[in-house]
Chain A
Amino acid sequence: MNAAAEAKDKVTEAHDAGGPLIEVRRLSVTFDNNEVLKDVSVSIDRGQTVAIIGESGCGKTVFMKTLVGLVKPDKGSVVFDGRPLNEMGLKELTQTRRRFGFVFQNAALFDSMSVFDNVAFPLRQSEVVSETDVRDRVLRHLAEVGLPRDVTRKRPAELSGGMRKRVGLARALVLRPEVVVYDEPTTGLDPIMSDVINELILDTRRRYPVTSVVVTHDMHTARKVADRVLMFYPRSRLEANESQILYDGPPSELEHAEDRRVRQFVHGEAGERINEMIEGFGS
């Protein structure tokens, strides 16, 4: 049995253990008169790995930031483990955020700190771990993402893109979160490093019983790591009564999706979009 199938089996076991961990109810977000998300409802079960795909500007990153309360919705709510985020006070919201691990697109490592201090930051913020434990856990998590000890003293600016992403992953995992959210984890990386990151996402699922949300437009990543795929579509190009989620199902069925727009995205075909863009430019 290959690694992906093994991980998915473990997910199924974890899934059976409880109900939905995250419930997004009729979420709407508008920026500058631009409706980014409208009436989006999604339920994510414990242990599931959900890939959110879609072209740039479809609202997938905004959706992901709404999950941890980095963006507040205009309408609707996000319910985490039975508690709506908008009903939480600052203290409860802070504690809830510590149950998430967030891997940012460009890692978002703190420039002023060494790699070690970056990974240790969430531990030190939680104030429940002694400095000896901090050291052990930081080194263990860096080793898990394949980084040698000698990088610990380096500054983020001295690292390659792939190493930065791996440090970002180690930092996201160091508090042993229940949910790991990945924002474009393979964007800007070479194919080999992209696959290293994919393997690390799978490896994380094998080691810890985490629920994962992976925002990506890399179809290889979506197929390899996810057991469920959601495809978002830009609100501005949808009819008023159309759902913004064009596809919700397993990655294996993406090829046979009924909606032509899903198949186009999966195969990377511009189709009529190129004409729309040229006309838009002309007008």
Chain B
Amino acid sequence: MSPCARWKRSRKLSESAASISSLPPAPESGLVRWINQWGSAVIDGITTVGDMAIFTWQMLRWLFTRLPCRGTVLINFYQVGALSLPVVALTGTFIGMVLAVQSYAQFHAIGLDSRLGAVINSTLVKELGPVLAATMLAGRVGSAMAAVLGTMRVTEQIDALTAMGADPIHYLVVPRFLACILLIPSLTIMADFMGIVGGYFYSVIILGIDHAAYLNHSREGVTGFDLFSGIFKSIFFGAIIAVMSCYRGFNCEAGAEGVGKAATTAFVYSFVLILAIDLFLTIVLNSIYYTLYPNGTSFL
């Protein structure tokens, strides 16, 4: 949202406040204050959702009319993809090993040690891989995007872009959005792969579970649809990270504190939305799975 849109919004709110204030003053009870506070929070929330929808619409319009130049896109691809790869691989390995550590005691107690592979790998491929890659991307790339764009807003660089006849959404947001949605599937695959390697290493090498049984159960427990659903969900997570981070950066408040707040809220809101969308998509994808394969199993 441009600052003028933000100011316009505040103006509208002030105008409605002014018309209310022209009524005869009523004694302000605790209840009235409470209603006022909640009312204002609800109006703010609805306005933010509306602003974000307009912001996303403007970005999508550019996406389908004119793509940014190759140089701008490639820099973002490098920062989002190549630079995120090591950290996603590392965290993927650890989460695979942690899953093995946590699940082993329960499975060992009922004598199903070799089934560990199915549990670890299907959890990774369906849930933890995509969510972990998205979390790392939101933390590493999303916060940085919000901070960079926020600094550009505060130092009038976004105004300068507009003044020079460039559209800031086309120039700054579209390449970041493209990088996030196109590269998050690769990062998810990397998190899945390293998680599987980590889980295998801990289960077979450290815990001494039978290698062949572990692999057999892994194959049985993970279907092609599981892999697809994880990667499919990750595209939505990438879109959430890009839109939320760029939106928070564009609407950054003045000063260093404003930039810090933009970076923090970009991560927090992205993460909450990722988990909410994850739940929704998992339910939808599971329904599709049961429709396609009525006798199939599901871990939901």
Contacts and interface: CB of A to CB of B under 8 A. Distances in A.
A183 to B, nearest CB: 9
A104 B159 contact: yes
A32 B14 contact: yes
A97 B11 contact: no
B18 interface: yes
B20 interface: no
A70 B157 contact: no
A74 B155 CA distance: 25
Given A31-B11, A104-B156, A106-B156, A70 B163 contact: yes
A104 B155 CA distance: 9
B162 A111 contact: no
A97 B162 contact: yes
A31 B164 contact: no
A102 B10 CA distance: 27
Given A30-B14, A31-B7, A111-B155, 15 more contacts: A30-B11, A31-B11, A32-B7, A33-B10, A70-B159, A70-B163, A71-B3, A71-B4, A71-B7, A94-B167, A95-B165, A106-B155, A110-B160, A112-B148, A122-B164
Contact of B157 (A68, A90, A108): A108
A104 B10 contact: no
Contact of B163 (A90, A100, A112): A100
27 contacts: A31-B7, A33-B10, A33-B11, A33-B14, A33-B17, A65-B159, A71-B4, A72-B4, A74-B11, A90-B167, A97-B163, A97-B164, A97-B165, A100-B163, A102-B160, A102-B163, A104-B156, A104-B159, A104-B160, A106-B155, A108-B157, A108-B160, A111-B152, A121-B164, A122-B164, A125-B165, A126-B165
A112 B162 CA distance: 17
A72 B8 contact: yes
A111 B8 CA distance: 29
A72 B14 CA distance: 17
B176 to A, nearest CB: 13
A22 to B, nearest CB: 15
A98 interface: yes
A72 B11 CA distance: 12
A105 interface: yes
Nearest to B171: A125
Contacts of B155: 106, 108, 111
Contacts of A33: 10-11, 14, 17-18
Interface in B150-188: 151-152, 155-157, 159-160, 162-167
Contacts of B163: 68, 70, 97, 100, 102
A98 B166 CA distance: 9
A126 B18 CA distance: 45
Interface string A236-277: 000000000000000000000000000000000000000000
A171 B167 CA distance: 17
Nearest to A100: B163
Given A100-B163, A125-B164, A31 B157 contact: no
Contacts of A175: 164
A234 to B, nearest CB: 18
Contacts of B166: 121, 125
Contacts of A65: 159
Contacts of B162: 70, 97
Among B4, B152, B165, max chain A CB count under 10 A is at B165
3 pairs of A and B residues whose beta carbons are closest in the complex: A33-B14, A108-B160, A102-B163
Interface string A53-83: 0000000000001001011101000000000
Nearest to A36: B7
Nearest to A121: B164
Contacts of A125: 164-166
Contacts of A30: 11, 14
Nearest to A29: B7
Given A108-B156, A108-B160, A110-B157, A70 B165 contact: no
Contacts of B148: 112
A110 B69 CA distance: 17
Contact of B10 (A31, A68, A90, A100): A31
